Structure 1
Amino acid sequence: MLSFWEKDFFIEYDHIVVGSGIVGLSTAIALKEKEPQSRVLVLERGVFPTGASTKNAGFACFGSLSEIAADLQKLPDEEVFNLVKLRWEGLQLLRNRLGDDQIDYKNFGGYELLRELELVALDELDRINHLLYPLFEKTVYSIANHKIHEFGFPAKAVNTLVFNPFESQIHSGRMMKSLLSLASSKGVEVLTGAQVVAFEEHEQWVEIAISDGPTFKCRQLAFCTNAFSKWFFPKIDIEPGRGVVLVTKPVPGLKLKGTFHYDEGYYYFRNYEDRIIFGGGRNLDLETEKTTNFDINEVILKKLKADLRELILPGQTFEIDHVWSGIMAFGPNKKPILQKQTPRVSAGVRLGGMGVAIGSKIGSELAGLMLQ
C-alpha cells in the first residue's frame, strides 16, 4: 500500500516517457527545456536501456553510398534528402547538447568497401553527391582506392573504397551516461526496473500500470520503445531486427582508423583505440533475426569471424574479447514513426538502425508533438 507521501509526490506527473534509450532521454530533456516547471518521469523496464542505445557499435553516421542508393529505389529524391538531413541534424544536436569530449566523438571519416557485385552503387555516386550538396556544401562521397593497401584489405576482394569525410565514431556508453546526467540536471526523474504492462487514457489524464508496482498518472504519455512497441500497439508497422556485435582484444599494429561499411551497410566495423568493433550480417538470416530475443545467432557470428580473418584483418593475429546483441526496429522504408496514437499518447519509434544519428532530433520533435 502506498504511503500518503508516495501518493502525494511519486505518482502524478505532467509527462511520462516509456523507454530510457537515446530517444526517451532526449524526449524528456526536450520536454524540460520547453516546460522547465513540468514534472517529467522516464520509465525503463531494465537496469540499462533495453534495445540498442547501449548496445550499438558507436557509429556517428548517416548512411553509406550503397545504403542511400538503395533508399533511392524506394523513396523519392526529396524524401531521401530529408532522411539524410534528419540524421545529420540529429548528430549535430547530440554533439551540441553533450559536447564532443563527453561522447568521445572522433572524426576519422568513413569508408565503404565495394566488392565486384556492389560496384553498381558507383553509378549513383554523382547523383547522390548532387542531391546532398545543398546540405553539406561539399562533396560527400569520393573514391579512395589508395587506402585499400594502406588499410590492409585484400585487393582481390575489395574493388573500390568510397570515402565520406563526415562520418565519425562515438563511445555509446559515455553518450548514454552523459544523456542521463543531463536529464538528471534538468530535473527529469528516471525509474528503472519499471515494466509498463498497460495504459488507459481518460479525458484529462493517462493511467500507466507497472508490473508489481503502482499506477502512475500523467497528462501526456510518450512511448520510445522502438522494436518493443508492438507490445503496446499491435498494429504498428514495425519489425524488430537483432544485430550481433563483437569486439576484439587489442590488435598489435592495427592499421584501421575510421568507420567502415559493406554490403549496403548490413556489415559495419570501426576501430576503438587498437581494437575492432564489428557487427551486422542480419541479412544472412532475416526471418530469424526478426526477434526481440537477445540470443546470438551462431550462423551470423561464424560469418563475422570469417570476414574478420579474410577481409578485415587478413594475415593478422586477433582474438575475440566479447560478443553481444542489440535489438533495432525496421519498416518498409527508413522513415521513422513519429505520431500521436491517441490525443494523449504519442510514439517516436522505428529508427531503422540509425538511433545515434536521429535519436536526439526525434526526441525533440516528439516533445513538440506532445505539447501541441
Structure 2
Amino acid sequence: MTLSYWEIKSWLTNVDYTIVGSGIVGLNCALQLKKRFPKASILILEKGTLPQGASTKNAGFACFGSLSEIIDDLKTHSEEDVLNLVKKRRAGLQKLRTTLGDKSIDYQQWGGYELFSENTSLFETCLNQKDAVNALLRPIFKTDVFSLKGDTFGFKNIKEQYCFNQFEGQIDTGRMMEALLQKVLSNGIKILNNVSVTNFLEDVNSVKVETSQFSFSTCKLLIATNGFASALAIPEVKPARAQVLITKPIKGLHIKGTFHLDEGYYYFRNIDNRILFGGGRNLDFKAEETTELSQTALVQNRLERLLKTTILPNIPFEVEHRWSGIMGVGAQKKPVLKQISNHVFCGVRLGGMGVAIGSLVGEELANLIT
C-alpha cells in the first residue's frame, strides 16, 4: 500500500503509543494513556472493520461467574486466587458502568439463573457447596450471592430449582462499544481499521511495527488482541471460539434475566424479545480452539435442539442470525498483564470475562508504562 505524505505525517509520524486491538481492553487502555499523558499521540490498530474478537460479539452478560464455574475454578485455583478473580470482575464491571454510564450501555440488573440438566449430578454439587461459596464471597458482596429459586419460566428437561445470583446484570453490547468508541475518538485518539499487525521489531528507542498495509515506528507497543495474542508470540493464550445464534422476535416472550447452563458452557437471554443463545464449545474443545469466525453444524444443531427441548418448548421460533466471537483462554483464569520487552507490553487472556474485566485490564495495561 502506497501512502501519501499527508497520510504518513498525520497518522504514522511521531506516534508515542500504538495499541493493537480496538476491543474493550484496547480502548480503555487508550483512554487511560490519554489521561496520564494528555499530549501523547496514540494510535489504535484494528484488524477488522469492527473489533474482530469478542467485544462486539459477546452476549452482553455483566457477570462474574456462575456457582458451578466458581466451584470448578476452586479445583485449579486457591481460594485466595478465586476471591481475587471475582473481586477483579466486580471492580471491572463497576468501572465499565462508571466510565460509560448505565443508560448508555442499557445496564439492567435482573439477576442471573443457573439451570441444571435432569441427568447430571452438578445440581447436588452446587447445593452442597453453595453455603461455602457464599461465605467465601461475602467479604466482597456483604451478603449471600447465590440462592435457590423455583421454576417460573416453563423450561423443560431441567431441574425444577435454579441457582439465582441477585448481582448479575446485562448490557447492550453494541451500545457499549459505540459509547466507548465515541469516547475514545472525542479524546483525539486515532483508530485505523482493517490493519493487521504481522510483526514488530524492537530497537533501542522504538518499535518498528509491520502491518498488512504499511510499516511505521512507535515509541511503545501495547498488545490487546486477547484471543489472537498467540499470533504475536504470546503463548500463554489460546483462542476459544464462541458460537451464537439469535431468533426472530417472539411475541410475549416471558424470559427475563441472564441464564447459564452446563457450567456456563451454554448461556442465553432475552434481547429485544428475541432469544440470544450461545456456547457449546465443550462439544469439541479442539475444533473450537480456532480464530476462524465461522460456525459448525455440531454446535449450531445442538443450540437449536436445546431451544426446542428446553428453553422454548412448545413455542415456535425462527433463527435470524448466527455469528462467532473469539475469546482468549489458558491454563489459568488470571489475565496476562506484563512487559514483554523494553518497549512492548500486553494485556490479554480474559477467559471469557471481557465485559467484566476488560475495562480494568485496559487500565492496568496502560499503567505498565512508567
Compute the TM-score of the two structures, normalised by the length of structure 2: 0.96
Residues 160 and 333 of structure 1, relative CA distance in 2, 3 Å threshold: farther
Q: Which among 119, 122, 147 is matched to residue 118 of structure 1?
A: 122
Q: After superposition, what is the alpha-carbon deviation per residue over 1:237-285, rounded to whole angstroms, capped at 9, x for unaligned?
A: 2211111101111112212100000111000001113111000011001
Other-structure match for 2:140: 135
**Structure 2: distance between partners of 1:219 and 1:360:** 23
| Corresponding residue for residue 181 of structure 2 | 180
SS in 2 for 1:70: helix
- Aligned-partner residue type, residue 20 of structure 1: S
2:212 alignment partner in structure 1: 211
Identity across matched positions, percent: 48
Structure 2 matches for 1:43-192, cutoff 5 A?
A: 43-115=45-117, 116-119=120-123, 120-145=125-150, 148=151, 150-154=152-156, 156-192=157-193
* Contact preservation (8 Å) 1:152, 1:255: no
State how far apart, in whole Å, the 1-side matches of 2:332 and 2:227 are.
Answer: 15
Q: Residues 269 and 277 of structure 1 are in contact (CA less than 8 Å); yes or no, is this contact kept in structure 2?
A: yes
User: What aligned pairs does 1:2-81 form with structure 2 within 5 A after superposition?
Assistant: 2-11=3-12, 12-81=14-83
Amino acid at match of 2:87: K
Q: What's the Cα RMSD here?
A: 1.3
SS in 2 for 1:182: helix
Q: 2:115, 2:158 within 8 Å by CA — same for their partners in 1?
A: no
**How big is the shift at 1:198?**
1.4
**Letter of the aligned partner of 2:192 in structure 1?**
L
**1:144-293 equivalent positions in 2, closer than 5 A:** 144-145=149-150, 148=151, 150-154=152-156, 156-213=157-214, 215-233=215-233, 236-293=235-292
Work out whether residues 133 and 139 of structure 1, in 8 Å CA contact, stay in contact via their aligned partners in 2.
yes
- Work out the CA distance in 1 between the residues paired with 2:231 and 2:272: 39
Q: Quote the Cα distance in structure 2 between the aligned partners of 1:352 and 1:101.
A: 27
How many angstroms apart in 1 are the aligned matches of 2:343 and 2:224?
14
Q: Supply the distance in 2 between the matched residues of 1:122 and 1:282 (Cα, whole angstroms).
A: 26
In 2, the alpha carbon distance for the partners of 1:7 and 1:266 equals: 46
Please state how far the C-alpha of 1:7 moved relative to its aligned partner.
4.3
CA distance in 2, matches of 1:212, 1:23: 23
Q: Give me the whole-angstrom Cα distance separating, in 2, the residues matched to 1:170 and 1:47.
A: 22
Supply the distance in 2 between the matched residues of 1:157 and 1:90 (Cα, whole angstroms).
32
- State the Cα distance separating 1:286 from its structure 2 match: 0.6
What is residue 298 of structure 1 aligned with on the other side?
A: 297
**1:354 counterpart = 2:353:** yes
Q: How many residues align?
A: 365
| Secondary structure of the structure 2 residue equivalent to 1:46 | coil
Code of the residue aligned with 1:123 in structure 2: it is N
**Counterpart-to-counterpart distance in 2, 1:193 and 1:231:** 16
Cα contact 2:115–2:260 (8 A) shared by 1:
yes
TM-score by length of 1: 0.95
CA shift at 1:46, angstroms? 1.2
Which amino acid is the alignment partner of residue 230 of structure 1? S
Does the 8 Å CA contact 1:328/1:351 hold for their aligned counterparts?
A: yes
Distance 2:254 2:128 in 1: 29
Question: What is the CA–CA distance in structure 1 between the aligned matches of 2:115 and 2:367, rounded to whole Å?
Answer: 39
Q: Compared with structure 1, are the counterparts of its residues 322 and 35 closer, same or farther at alpha carbon in structure 2 (3 Å cutoff)?
A: same
Note the 1:333-348 alignment, pairs <5 A. Answer: 333-348=332-347
How has the CA–CA distance of structure 1 residues 130 and 191 changed in structure 2, closer, same or farther, with 3 Å as cutoff? same
Unaligned stretches of 5+ residues in structure 1: none
* 1:117 to partner: Cα distance: 2.2
Between the aligned partners of 2:5 and 2:23, the Cα distance in structure 1 is: 32
Q: Where does residue 310 of structure 2 map in the other structure?
A: 311
Q: What amino acid maps onto 2:109 in structure 1?
A: N
Secondary structure of the 1:126 match is helix
CA contact (8 A) 1:19 1:42 kept: yes
Q: CA deviation at 1:160?
A: 2.4
Q: Which amino acid aligns with 1:339?
A: K
